[in-house]
Structure formats: C-alpha cells, structure tokens
Amino acid sequence: MNVNQSAPPVPPFGQPQPIYPGYHQSNYSGQPGSAAPPASYGAYNGPVPGYQQTPPLGVSRAPPSSGAPPSSTAQAPCGQAAYGQFGQGDIQNGPSSSTVPMQRLPGSQPFGSPLAPAVSQPAAVLQPYGPPPTSAQVTAQLAGMQISGAMAPAPPPSGLGYGPPTSMASASGSFPNSGLYGSYPQGQAPPVSQAQGHPGIQPPQRSAPPLASSFTPPTSGGPRMPSMTGSLPPGQGFGGPPMNQPNHVSSPPQALPPGTQMTGLQGPPPPMHSPQQPGYQLQQNGSFGPGRGPQPNYGSPYPGAPTFSSQPGPPQPLPPKRLDPDAIPSPIQVIEDDRNNRGSEPFVTGVRGQVPPLVTTNFLVKDQGNASPRYIRCTSYNIPCTSDMAKQAQVPLAAVIKPLAMLPPEEASPYVVDHGESGPLRCNRCKAYMCPFMQFIEGGRRFQCCFCSCINDVPPQYFQHLDHTGRRVDAHDRPELSLGSYEFLATVDYCKNNKFPSPPAFIFMIDVSYNAIRTGLVRLLCEELKSLLDYLPREGGAEESAINVGFVTYNKVLHFYNVKSSLAQPQMMVVSDVADMFVPLLDGFLVNVNESRAVITSLLDQIPEIFADTRETETVFAPVIQAGMEALKAAECAGKLFVFHTSLPIAEAPGKLKNRDDRKLINTDKEKTLFQPQTSVYQTLAKECVAQGCCVDLFLFPNQYVDVATLSVVPQLTGGSIYKYACFQVENDQERFLSDLRRDVQKVVGFDAVMRVRTSTGIRAVDFFGAFYMSNTTDVELAGLDANKTVTVEFKHDDRLNEESGALLQCALLYTSCAGQRRLRIHNLALNCCTQLADLYRNCETDTLINYMAKFAYRGILNSPVKTVRDTLITQCAQILACYRKNCASPSSAGQLILPECMKLLPVYLNCVLKSDVLHPGAEVTTDDRAYARQLVTSMDVAETNVFFYPRLLPLTKSPIESTTEPPAVRASEERLSNGDIYLLENGLNLFVWVGASVQQGVVQSLFNVASFSQITSGLSVLPVLDNPLSKKVRGLIDSLRAQRSRYMKLIVVKQEDKMEMMFKNFLVEDNSLSGGESYVDFLCHMHKEIRQLLS
C-alpha cells in the first residue's frame, strides 16, 4: 500500500476541509498484545440462562462429507425487487429546514488513498479545448462496395468550410468539427483562445458557451459532420501524432464474410502519412480502410485492393479480400490519442456540456461549478431538446454516478458547509439544494430555482448583495455557490427518528463448518483480524476509529461472543433456534477495539482451536444475516456485516437452498431462472437490512455451486460487495483474499444512505442500476455506499428542453459517515441541449454508453432470454449508428460504414459485452461465475467496465528496460502477440503473463530463474523475486496495476501453446471466442449489415 501524506491544496474557503479517513497506516504487523496462547474451550464460561452452551468438541456428528448439497431441479423464480417504477415521488433526502444546532467534527485530515492510488502515474493535464478531432467520421466500406481503380470524388469539403469554431464554442468541447482536423495540425494552437476565459469561478449556466449548433455550415444543405476523408484538404496534417504499433506480428488476416469485399478509403489522402507508419493514421482520424500499403496517397492501391469509390458499378471479380484489422478503429489508438491530446492540462469544469477526457487518460480536474467526471460521467453531454429526437437517435441518456469517489491527492475533496441550525438551503418546491445554478434576484432577497423555477425567499441569515452582474458578492467564498461538488452538515431533521446517529459497527461473521476449517481459512482470517482491526476507517484525524466491532461464528447454529473489556476471557453463547433468530447478548457484543483488545485477541486465537475438529458440514445463511442485522438494531446503529461463507446453505433454516444449477437451461427461455433468486427470503431480509442501515459484504469460498445468484441478493440490495474465491487454498489464494479483505475493511464507506437525483424541467431520472434498494421510484436507498460503488441513472424526457438553459442534474446523497456524522454530499452537473442530432453525436462518450448498455443487458437477462437481450443490444447499436448515418453523415454509398468519431469504438466494445461470460458463456464458465460477474458489473464505474470488457495487453519485453513509463498497450488479439516476447494482460479482475515460445533464454532466466521456456511452470502465480532490472521492472508493473484496481488481481503465468493458454485467449476479445463470439472484424461487418437494413 501506498502512503500519501501530502496535504491537499489550501482551501480557498473559510471552510474546513472535509473529513476524510486517510489510510495512513501502511502495514499492520507488530500488533501488540496478541500473543495469548489459545485457551481451551473451557474458557468460555458464563452461560446465559436460557442459552445452550454447546462445546463443538465431542459433538457426535456424521463424518464430513464432501459437502455436496443435494441436487434438485430449478425452483420457481422469484420476482426482482421493485425497481423500475417510474414517477415522481415525494420522498426527499430530508426536510428543508431545521432548528436543531449541528455539531461539527474537528479538523480535517489530509486525503490519502494508498489502497487504490491514482498516484502511480504523473498528473496529467489536458487541453481545455478538448481533443480537436472528435467529430470526424469514421468511414469504411466493408461490404457490398464496388471497387474501381479510379479516384473517388471527394465529398464536399465541408469540414474546411466550417472554419474555426467561433469564440467560445470550442470551449464547450462540443463541436470539434471534422474541419478541425485539418485546421489544427499537431502542435499548433487552435485559433480560439477564449475557451480558457473562465479563470474565476462562475456559474456554468451563465458562462456557458454558445451551443455548438449555432455555427453555420458553408452550404445550407451540406453535411454537418462530413467524413474525415472528405474534409481533409491536401497538405493538412492531423490533430494528433500518428501512432504506430510496432509491437505486433502479423498473422493471417481474417477473411471477410461472404459477399463482403475489401475496399479502400474514399477521398483524398492526408499527405502526412508516411510509409513508415502503415495504416494507423487512418484510425487516428476516425476513418478506416486498408491500413497497409502506400500511405501518401489513398489513390495508390495496396496490392489487390485498389482505391475504392462510392460510385456504383458492377462488382468486380476480385478474389475475396481481407479486411485489415489495422484499418478498423483501434481502441489502443483512441486511448493513446486522448492521452496525448487531453492528458496535459487540467480539466476545468466551469463550462457547461464539456466532454471530459477518457477514463483511460490521466488528468487533473479543477472544479469550477460542475461535478468532476470522477463523480459523474454521462453518455452524452449534449441532450436532444425533444423526446422525438432522443427516440430517433436511440442514444441512451444516462449518468454514471460515483458519489463517494476517491480523488487523487492533488485534487481538493469536497468542502463541508455548515449552515448551523438552519441546515442546508433548499428550494421550497422541489427541495433541490443550493447550488451555483440558482439565480438570485430582487437584489439578493430571493432566488429562482434552476430546477423547477420556483421563486424562494432568501433567509435573512443567508442574505447577500449582488454585484453588477447579478452574482452574489460572496459567491466565491461559498462552495455551494461556486463548486460542482460539496457537502452540507445535516441537521437532526435528516436523521432517523430525529436522533443523531451512533457510530456504525462492523460485525465479523465466520463460517466454521468443516470446509472452512479444513482449508485453513478460519485460522488465516482470525490471525489477520487481530491486526486488521487496528485499521478500521477513521475520520477527522481521530486517534482511533469510532466503529465498534462484534464477532459471530456459525455452521448450523450461531455462536455469539461476549468480548466485553472487563472479562478475562471471551464468552460464547450459542443460538440453535435459527428459525427465530435473536441476539442473546447486548452488553459486550459490540465493543471498542482498543478497550477490548485483550479479549478480542484471545477470542481470535481460540476460534480456530475450538472448531479444529469439527465434523459439521452444513451451514445456514439467512439466519446469520438476520442475527447481524438484529444486533445492529439492538445497538441502534448502522453498520456492516462481513460474512465469510463456504457452502450452499442446506441446513434446515429460513433461506435454506437447494442445488438448482442446470446447465441444460443455457440458451433456453428458462436460462433467466439461473440468475433469479430461488427464494424470496433474501429479498425480505435485505429490505429489513436496508431499513436498519445494515450493509452486507460477502466473502465466498465455494468448492462447488453455492448459488451466487441467491446468496448475493442481500449484498446487492444493501450496497455491499461480493468476493468469490473458488476452491480456496491458503497457499494459492491467501494473498488475494487478505488484500481484498484489508481494502474492504479499511475503505471509506457511508451508511444508511439515500440518494436522490433531481433534474431541471424537461428530463427526469427514470431508471437506476447498481447495488441498492428502492422502495419508491425516486430514492436510491443504500444501507452502505463505499468509494467504489457506482449508480447508473437513466433519464427520459418529460418535456421539451431548450438550448439556452440546458439541462441540470443534482445528485444529493444523505449518509452517515464512519464517525457517525450525518452529511449531505451534493454533485451538480450542467449539460447542453441541442436541436441538431449532429451535436448529440459529437458529444457522446462511448465508454459511458458501454457501462450503461452492459448494466442494462445484465439486468435484462433476469427477465428475458439471453438471446433476446443480445439482439436488443445489437439493434439499439445499429439504430444509433443508422440514425447518425442518415441524419449527420455526408451522402455516400450505402456500402460505406460511417461511424461518428465519438462512437467509433462502439462496435468493438459492444461486441465485447455481447461475448462476455454473462451473455455468451463458454463451456468452462459456471453458473456461479456468471452470476458473480453479473453482480460485479452492476456496480462498476466507467473505468472498470472499460478494462473489464476490453482488457489491457502490455508487451513487457519490447521497450527498453530503462524506460520507466508503462509500455504502450497493444490490441487484444492473438495476432498482436509475438512469440519472441512476453505480455501482460489485465482486466481489473484477472492478470496474466503470457510467455512466447521463442523468448530469449536470457529473458526467461531474468524473469523466471529457469534456463529455458520449457522449464517455466505453467500456471505459476508468483514471479520469483530476482535482483535484475527486468524482474524488478515487471514485478513493479504488476504491483502498480494491482494498486490501480479495486480488487486484487491474481496472477497466472501462461505459456504459448500450453493448455492454460485457452483461458488466456478468452481475453483476446478482438478474436473469435471459443464459445462462438464473433471477432471484431466479423462483428463490424455484422453491424454494417444491420445498419444497411435499417437504412434501406
């Protein structure tokens, strides 16, 4: 773990910095007082009357079986929780006023995030203009094209005709017109400089630039977004440096589908292409066609593929051509370009509707009135004004919101605003919170709500004069008037039962059945907890965590432990009546770690001994959660349960499950039942947990089917996390489990939370995706919400929007901090609105679209056959692209595939979603694996879904050893692998090192400490620690990748041509998959066919 002690920037406000628990402790060895020898079972004295004190030892039980639960057929599915009801409810985050004084926690604490630091890479800066080329079209002719030897007539040079954007238009990032490509050669400053003219903090609403649609194309009927190839004038360079990928070996290119002919690009070539950089410039500019061959002139055909034109003509009897994978849009190229174009200057949020840099770009954010993209990312930053337009385009309007996201240390965390006993100022009608978009009028005595237009009085204590521009003179001194994100201290009116909350509690609930003991899990866990308990989340520089802890062990019965500090030894109380769970002790169950340290240590020493000889293989599950929840209820606090569980709960108890796994259901209409919970018990239980603010994190250690779909219901609905370690063995899985556990226990988490997303008139939030519960149609209830959890919100029109006022979002999260402080975190974001479809397509973000579409599809399989869900995705994607083609692209042959620049990766990424294990499982993928992946994706942010669906493949031996930067990635395809090199692949959950069969012996020796390729152990999970530059570099890279991800990635070494290589190849997502998933090239042809059908 990384320790970051750097202080945040000095806050410009007279407010304290927000109180963040920093992870200052970097290791937890040497914990004192843990050396007590394990006591015998007899130490657990003091039975409570009425409770059976059952020593597990000597209990006569059947010999341990393998633990296999009885098999049975699938049970009738239960309905999903009540999501998806739309409408405006009345429930708010809290009342609008208050009379109770607020307490404030002392001081602030420097922000640090050593667990998942973004600090491993240098701070990036970005260009305030946004990438120059975001709207050039991607063109290609994939199918049905006629090929001729003649130069194609260039489309109207409309890109040129647009000329440089006027004044601030480009600042919005909203119309990097294709003309810009030609206009701003690399390294040359864009002609417009006013984009930066927002040094001060201004409400974006006022400082918003003119809408992109306001400038005029040269010819009225001309295309607004002409194809790249048509718009590039001779002699003009490209916006970004050409990128080459020298790292791949060519392998036989894929053949086109029948009836498809390879065609070249249309239009005059950009002359800066050089023969040394085959092919890539095309992608660079969003166009694709044949990549190989003479570049300086597209007119010069590469062998066998003459320049194509859009002129209709009889098909020529050419042999089937191959589509060069280099000629289709490359994710690597797009990522590289964005890094180069936008990674060098901060992203300043003062301008409405700016598309932020990609999630794969490192950049700093300056909050000047809109929430940072680390908190909110949108599928589009320019929303169609009417629902008709939105329906026509089919582009989902969604925001991916991560309310408690960790920020890099260089960025200021949200300031905490304390309005004292009056509480936060809100609109009387819609209850929106004070924000930079509110309009003060009548000399400052009133303000007009930017969401509902209601005129509100300004309370006397909040009154301030306005300056000559109508701004309050104190706007710069108040976060809520100048920033996109900030927090309010909540008054008692925002608290349950009008009482300030108690600090939360953590309860550790440990399965001690035969399997848990046998694998060494219980011993490992207890040993770890002894030190880990010193690292519970803290706040405000507090000496110790305010969180109390409790312990339960269980198999068929539950064992509660009294660890009161005054006891000499812990006491155990057994509850065997699991049908009617209750908590047998209140005093001494939840304790302060420091006060009870000796007793807790003694308990953790004894637990593995007590159950060492257990024969019990059966477990219960629902009663365990019930018990934890009841304990929190009794203590009148929120909290989190950490449940460590090994098997299908088949013991007689509520929530008992049977093995209903049935692979025969795959690809049938009943496949959905595999993902539905097999009983409603867990939904009911989850609801009770949410009401109590009881979040459940589940660690699973299954040897076989455990019905993840059912067991995950409670974690899913309570905002918890699930971790799965199949066939857990201490030797192999210890590092991964302990790393995950440490992060999970220490991470910042809010409790008992309610999130509400308000919007300005015209759109509203209609659907929500993530780990939470909803009892009405508007309030997202989260028993717990940690820094990694993301909620995706979809919006629909309910009225007409207008270009002038744009559209506003306000996300308000009411939560209890880990010190027990009630707070409101507010994020505001202003978007542009457009009357031209082209503006929509210029301001989309494909990574966010994919995040939404994956979540939409993964939820859809609960109710529809998987094939239907896949077809729906394909159709929607085709409609999006067809609408663009029809309304925004320059007229051209139907044989030409034209993609909007911002969406040129939509096909490749969507294909990755379609062929993912959840939607297209291979034979080796279990039902539990699928249910698990489904749950994980539900809460992922955009960066996580991006790398999860399109893994990162890094060559390890290409770049010089001295190079300190991360090697440039290559495309996820087998043909990019050279058998003389070693590669690293990661997708956020898995990490592979692939070794080519012809790697030099010296390299093998340096990395694996063996003499030859054949001696490398396949499946190795640790690289030997060797004292040479290559070994250090590779291990350092692995460490850095692991630090970037929210879960520990287990390493697997895979050798070329080895059996295990199949597993690895599954992640080469541009290729055909073993399960029948299409290659990128095939899918692109498929998509093109769909689009043509829609257009004809």
Q: Minimal distance in Å, beta carbon 486 to Zn ion?
A: 18
- Encode burial over 342-354: b for 16+ CB neighbours within 10 A, e otherwise: bbbbbbbbbbbbb
Q: Minimal distance in Å, beta carbon 759 to Zn ion?
A: 11
Q: In this chain, which stretch among 41-49, 163-171, 423-431, 862-870 interacts with Zn ion, using CB under 5 A? A: 423-431
SS (H, E, C) 918-943: CCCCCCCCCHHHHHHHHHHHHCCCHH
Which among 627, 580, 575, 570 has a CA at the least distance from the CA of 602?
A: 570
Contact (Cβ atoms closer than 8 angstroms) between residue 229 and residue 264: no
Residue closer to Zn ion, measured from CB, 779 or 944: 779
Residue closer to Zn ion, measured from CB, 429 or 867: 429
Residue closer to Zn ion, measured from CB, 140 or 826: 826
Residue closer to Zn ion, measured from CB, 109 or 759: 759
Q: In this chain, which stretch among 56-64, 447-455, 459-467, 826-834 interacts with Zn ion, using CB under 5 A? A: 447-455
CB-side neighbour CA atoms (13 Å) of 816? 30
Residue closer to Zn ion, measured from CB, 452 or 738: 452
Q: In this chain, which stretch among 51-59, 450-458, 644-652, 655-663 interacts with Zn ion, using CB under 5 A? A: 450-458
Residue closer to Zn ion, measured from CB, 94 or 408: 94
- Encode burial over 157-185: b for 16+ CB neighbours within 10 A, e otherwise: bbbbbbbbbbebbbbbbbbbbbbbbbbbe
Distance separating alpha carbons of residues 425 and 796, to the nearest angstrom: 28
Q: In this chain, which stretch among 22-30, 422-430, 545-553, 596-604 interacts with Zn ion, using CB under 5 A? A: 422-430
Task: Kindly state the helix (H) or strand (E) to which residue 181 belongs, with its residue range.
Answer: helix 178-183
Q: In this chain, which stretch among 99-107, 157-165, 449-457, 614-622 interacts with Zn ion, using CB under 5 A? A: 449-457
Residues 781-800 that bind Zn ion (CB under 5 A): none
Residue closer to Zn ion, measured from CB, 428 or 1000: 428
Q: Is 767 helix (H, G, I), strand (E, B) or coil?
A: strand
Phi/psi-derived region of residue 914, left when phi > 0, alpha when psi is between -120 and 50, beta in every other case = alpha
Task: Kindly state the helix (H) or strand (E) to which residue 366 belongs, with its residue range.
Answer: strand 365-366
Q: In this chain, which stretch among 246-254, 425-433, 535-543, 1024-1032 interacts with Zn ion, using CB under 5 A? A: 425-433
Task: Kindly state the helix (H) or strand (E) to which residue 909 belongs, with its residue range.
Answer: helix 906-914
Q: Minimal distance in Å, beta carbon 89 to Zn ion?
A: 15
Distance separating alpha carbons of residues 600 and 605, to the nearest angstrom: 8
Q: In this chain, which stretch among 420-428, 479-487, 906-914, 1009-1017 interacts with Zn ion, using CB under 5 A? A: 420-428
Task: Kindly state the helix (H) or strand (E) to which residue 1065 belongs, with its residue range.
Answer: helix 1061-1065
Which among 394, 215, 237 has a CA at the least distance from the CA of 882?
A: 394
DSSP assignment of 270-336 equals PTT--TTSTTHHHHHTT--S--SS--S-TTSPBTTBPPB-S---PPP-PPPPB--GGGS--HHHHHH
Dihedral angle at the C-alpha atoms of 40, 46, 48, 52, nearest 10 degrees?
30
Q: How many residues does the chain have?
A: 1096
User: Cβ neighbours of residue 191 under 8 Å, at least 6 residues apart?
Assistant: 164, 183, 184
Q: Minimal distance in Å, beta carbon 477 to Zn ion?
A: 24
1062 counts as binding Zn ion under rule CB under 5 A: no
Quick note: the x/- pattern for Zn ion over 100-119, rule CB under 5 A, is: --------------------
Task: Kindly state the helix (H) or strand (E) to which residue 417 belongs, with its residue range.
Answer: strand 416-417
47: its two tokens: 């039975």
Residues 641-670 that bind Zn ion (CB under 5 A): none
Q: How far, CA to CA in Å, does 149 sit from each of 300, 304, 323?
A: 9, 11, 18
Q: In this chain, which stretch among 453-461, 521-529, 700-708, 859-867 interacts with Zn ion, using CB under 5 A? A: 453-461
Q: Minimal distance in Å, beta carbon 449 to Zn ion?
A: 3
Distance separating alpha carbons of residues 815 and 824, to the nearest angstrom: 6
Q: How far, CA to CA in Å, does 684 sit from each of 78, 625, 681, 936, 956?
A: 11, 12, 5, 22, 50
Among 212, 376, 427, 936, binds Zn ion (CB under 5 A): 427
Residue closer to Zn ion, measured from CB, 318 or 454: 454
Among 48, 151, 272, 452, binds Zn ion (CB under 5 A): 452
446 counts as binding Zn ion under rule CB under 5 A: no
Q: Minimal distance in Å, beta carbon 372 to Zn ion?
A: 24
Among 454, 727, 961, 1074, binds Zn ion (CB under 5 A): 454
Q: In this chain, which stretch among 340-348, 381-389, 424-432, 804-812 interacts with Zn ion, using CB under 5 A? A: 424-432
Residue closer to Zn ion, measured from CB, 505 or 812: 812
Counting beta carbons within 10 angstroms of the beta carbon of residue 366, is it exposed (0 to 12), middle (13 to 18) or buried (19 or more)? middle
Backbone angles phi, psi at 387, to 5 degrees: -70, -30
Residue closer to Zn ion, measured from CB, 425 or 947: 425
User: Cβ neighbours of residue 737 under 8 Å, at least 6 residues apart?
Assistant: 524, 699, 723, 725, 728
Q: In this chain, which stretch among 254-262, 431-439, 770-778, 1068-1076 interacts with Zn ion, using CB under 5 A? A: 431-439
449 counts as binding Zn ion under rule CB under 5 A: yes
Distance separating alpha carbons of residues 113 and 404, to the nearest angstrom: 13
Q: How far, CA to CA in Å, does 898 sit from each of 306, 353, 355, 825?
A: 20, 25, 22, 42
Q: Minimal distance in Å, beta carbon 452 to Zn ion?
A: 3
Residue closer to Zn ion, measured from CB, 426 or 478: 426
Residue closer to Zn ion, measured from CB, 431 or 971: 431
Q: In this chain, which stretch among 426-434, 693-701, 920-928, 992-1000 interacts with Zn ion, using CB under 5 A? A: 426-434
Residue closer to Zn ion, measured from CB, 426 or 640: 426
Residue closer to Zn ion, measured from CB, 154 or 829: 829
Among 262, 395, 425, 430, binds Zn ion (CB under 5 A): 430
- Looking up tokens 């607004």 gives 224
Strands (E), 478-616: 485-489, 505-511, 548-554, 558-562, 571-575
Q: Minimal distance in Å, beta carbon 21 to Zn ion?
A: 34
Q: Minimal distance in Å, beta carbon 455 to Zn ion?
A: 10
Q: Is the dihedral of CA 526, 531, 533, 536 positive or negative?
A: negative
Residues 695-734 that bind Zn ion (CB under 5 A): none
Among 451, 621, 772, 1013, binds Zn ion (CB under 5 A): 451
Residues 316-375 that bind Zn ion (CB under 5 A): none
Among 104, 322, 429, 796, binds Zn ion (CB under 5 A): 429
55: its two tokens: 């020593």
Residue closer to Zn ion, measured from CB, 451 or 621: 451
Quick note: the x/- pattern for Zn ion over 669-688, rule CB under 5 A, is: --------------------
Backbone angles phi, psi at 308, to 5 degrees: -100, 160
Q: How many residues bind to Zn ion according to rule CB under 5 A?
A: 8
Q: Minimal distance in Å, beta carbon 432 to Zn ion?
A: 5
Residue closer to Zn ion, measured from CB, 125 or 452: 452
Distance separating alpha carbons of residues 544 and 534, to the nearest angstrom: 8
Residue closer to Zn ion, measured from CB, 451 or 1080: 451
Q: In this chain, which stretch among 206-214, 428-436, 672-680, 712-720 interacts with Zn ion, using CB under 5 A? A: 428-436
458: its two tokens: 């300004």
Residue closer to Zn ion, measured from CB, 452 or 1023: 452
Please give the residue ranges that form the binding site for Zn ion (CB under 5 A). 427, 429-430, 432, 449, 451-452, 454
